[in-house]
Amino acid sequence: MIDTILFDLDGTLIDSSEGIIKSALYALEYYGIHEQDTGKLYRFIGPPLSESFEKYYGFSPERAYEAVEKYRERYNKTGIFECRLYPGVEQCIRLLRERGYRIGMASSKPEVSCKRILEHFGILELFDDVTGATFDGRRDKKSQILEEVMRRWSDIPRESMCLVGDTEFDAAGAAELGIFCIAVSYGFGDVEEMKKTGIIGVCDSMEELPGLLAGLPGKAGY
């Protein structure tokens, strides 16, 4: 029975595209790269930033690490709050808490940034714990984030956990660790790609999540 819900942040609880894209542009321009098609920068949302600089712009690991630092130069001052909560987020989390679910966060965004954003929107207190990446890159992949969640919550069996996310990185990380995953269709990823990895449901809005969880026989309850 699922009794612990882990939320991804970007593309699941918040639309963070403006801040991430502007900060990625800032970093690329520092290296003389003037990206005209900002649509390509949506690829920076989800995976670790260093991987995106390496994969899409041919940066070496060392240069990618430097580019992430340049990205954060803008993001930590301005970009972090260039975002908005998706409709129904606070109401959904409050309802799940009322129904007895434990609420956590598992994001590849730095943990400090996750907490700042949740505090900015006045919902930090709704989370029993917030787990994110480290600034030094030791923990940034979704599987590593989930491993840290399970280390902190070692008393909770993984089969009672469910990650709610919007990209194949969420689905793959959950599958690797043997926990359930629910996809949201309104984020930055591709639900069809997530289905290939294995998910137990899809939400078209955050308002649908409590009903979806309640309707999973043998997997959820309250």
- Residue 9 tokens read as 């942040």
> Which of 8, 10, 15, 166 is an active site residue?
8
Burial class (CB in 10 A: 0-12, 13-18, 19+), 124: middle
Q: Where are the beta strands (DSSP E) in 47-140?
A: 84-85, 102-110, 129-133
- 182 phi and psi, to 5 degrees? -115, 135
**In DSSP terms, which residues pair with 213 in a beta bridge?**
none
Q: What angle do CA 206, 44, 9 make, to 5 degrees?
A: 30
Q: Judge contact between 134 and 140, C-beta under 8 A.
A: yes
Nearest to 8 by CA among 167, 177, 153: 167
Q: Judge contact between 203 and 183, C-beta under 8 A.
A: yes
8 catalytic residue (yes or no)? yes
| Catalytic sites, residue numbers | 8
